[in-house]
């Protein structure tokens, strides 16, 4: 199946290209970017230089604009949210399947916001989209790794309250993103719109489909988001109040054994274990653990009792992989397995 990436030259776009270049199901045929990049080779169009190894054939490929006659059926969107709304809607009207990492449509009533291990039944919203093509979305980076961990807690013990403080990596802000003068020897305790995204997306992801709509989960959730001096890998201090009584070992057990359809189908981008529980007292840590399971796992540690809520723990995920491009590709792999595409 021929696929393309829109917004291919940004931080997330490059991660898409890297992950798709030798993909067993998808053939990357279109690299699409804004006017500034058109006609350039992909190598030259990428202002932000990464250490990702991109094949020579892709590096030399010409970047197209959206007005071009696109040679693909599926588009991955790494567009900035300000422009994603209109462009993705048009692509869907034009008959394309769009797997989007942008926030523009995530909370719309007929747009699935999906983590494959969590709520693949939400894909049924697709049929309520009145277009030839369709749009599916994956959550914000901070939400992805969080909800992957909340899901087995909700299923096994019932979630009542969730409080999360994030320490987010710089690559989450795109390129050029955060100025070095702002973040060296510093923490920035605010990320525009992020706390709202985490709270609302979590409730939608854990919600139920009823009459063709999502009824959001009934959980009190509070997020505080900070930017720290880390390249990639968001760390979260999570505390939860559960409906049922349990203990640390039972929680570890449920997290360790959690999996979903992607694992059963062994989808190409599915991690063998979507949640890794570490026992070392000081793990996970972003630089050491963000690449576990090729960046597709939520890595959990320090599960312990909490006197304010019930339990507290640490969650780490790779914001560009499970938090962005990898999430979107896994969604597409599942859509393909479920014959939506």
Q: Does 309 bind its own copies (CB under 8 A)?
A: yes
Binding segment for its own copies (CB under 8 A), chosen from 78-86, 164-172, 251-259, 324-332, is 164-172
Q: Does 55 bind its own copies (CB under 8 A)?
A: no
Count of residues that interact with its own copies, criterion CB under 8 A: 59
Spatial CA neighbour of 30 closest among 10, 49, 16, 50: 16
CA–CA separation, 105 vs 98, rounded Å?
11
Q: Does 184 bind its own copies (CB under 8 A)?
A: yes
Angle at 125 between CA 122 and CA 131, to 5 degrees: 145
Query: Could you confirm whether 46 is annotated as catalytic?
Result: no
Query: Could you confirm whether 336 is annotated as catalytic?
Result: no
3-state secondary structure at position 320: coil
CB of 126 to its own copies, least distance (A): 31
CB of 15 to its own copies, least distance (A): 13
Cβ closest to its own copies, residue 130 vs residue 245: 245
Q: Does 170 bind its own copies (CB under 8 A)?
A: yes
CB of 226 to its own copies, least distance (A): 7
* 39 dihedral zone (left: phi>0; alpha: psi -120 to 50; beta): left
Q: Which helix (H) or strand (E) holds 68?
A: none
Furthest C-alpha separation in the chain: 60
Q: Does 132 bind its own copies (CB under 8 A)?
A: no
3-state secondary structure at position 50: coil
Using CA atoms, how far residue 62 sits from 5, 68, 117, 204, 232, in Å, is: 13, 12, 36, 38, 28
Q: Does 1 bind its own copies (CB under 8 A)?
A: no
Q: Does 68 bind its own copies (CB under 8 A)?
A: no
The residue annotated as part of the active site, out of 46, 72, 141, 225, is 141
Q: How far is CA 71 from the centre of its chain?
A: 26
Q: What residues line the site for its own copies (CB under 8 A)?
A: 11, 48-51, 161-163, 165, 167, 170-171, 175-190, 220-222, 224, 226, 228-231, 235, 237, 239, 241, 281-289, 291, 301-302, 306-309, 312, 314
> Which residues are part of the catalytic machinery?
141, 234
């Amino acid at each position: 199946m021929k696929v393309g990436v829109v917004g291919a030259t940004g931080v997330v776009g490059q991660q898409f290209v890297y992950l798709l270049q030798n993909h067993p199901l998808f053939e990357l045929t279109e690299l699409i970017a804004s006017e500034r990049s058109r006609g350039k080779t992909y190598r030259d169009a990428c202002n932000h230089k990464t250490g990702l190894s991109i094949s020579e054939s892709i590096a030399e490929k010409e970047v197209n604009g959206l007005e071009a006659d696109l040679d693909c059926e599926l588009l991955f969107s790494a567009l900035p949210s300000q422009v994603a709304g209109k462009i993705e809607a048009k692509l869907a009207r034009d008959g394309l399947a769009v797997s989007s990492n942008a926030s523009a449509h995530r909370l719309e009533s007929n747009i699935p916001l999906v983590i494959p291990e969590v709520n693949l039944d939400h894909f049924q919203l697709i049929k309520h989209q009145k277009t030839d093509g369709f749009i599916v979305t994956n959550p914000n980076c901070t939400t992805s790794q969080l909800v992957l961990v909340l899901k087995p807690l909700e299923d096994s013990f019932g979630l009542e309250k969730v409080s999360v403080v994030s320490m987010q990596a710089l690559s989450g802000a795109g390129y050029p993103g955060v100025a070095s003068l702002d973040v060296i020897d510093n923490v920035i305790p605010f990320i525009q719109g992020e706390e709202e995204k985490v709270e609302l997306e979590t409730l939608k992801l854990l919600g139920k489909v009823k009459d063709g709509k999502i009824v959001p989960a009934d959980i009190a959730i509070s997020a505080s988001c900070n930017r720290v001096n880390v390249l990639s890998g968001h760390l979260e201090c999570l505390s939860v109040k559960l409906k049922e009584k349990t203990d640390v070992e039972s929680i570890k057990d449920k997290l360790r054994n959690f999996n979903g359809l992607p694992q059963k189908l062994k989808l190409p981008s599915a991690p063998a274990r979507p949640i890794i529980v570490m026992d070392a007292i000081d793990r996970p840590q972003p630089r050491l653990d963000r690449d576990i399971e090729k960046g597709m796992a939520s890595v959990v540690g320090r599960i312990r009792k909490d006197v304010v809520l019930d339990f507290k723990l640490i969650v780490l995920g790779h914001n560009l992989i499970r938090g962005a491009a990898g999430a979107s590709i896994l969604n597409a792999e599942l859509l393909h397995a479920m014959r939506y595409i």
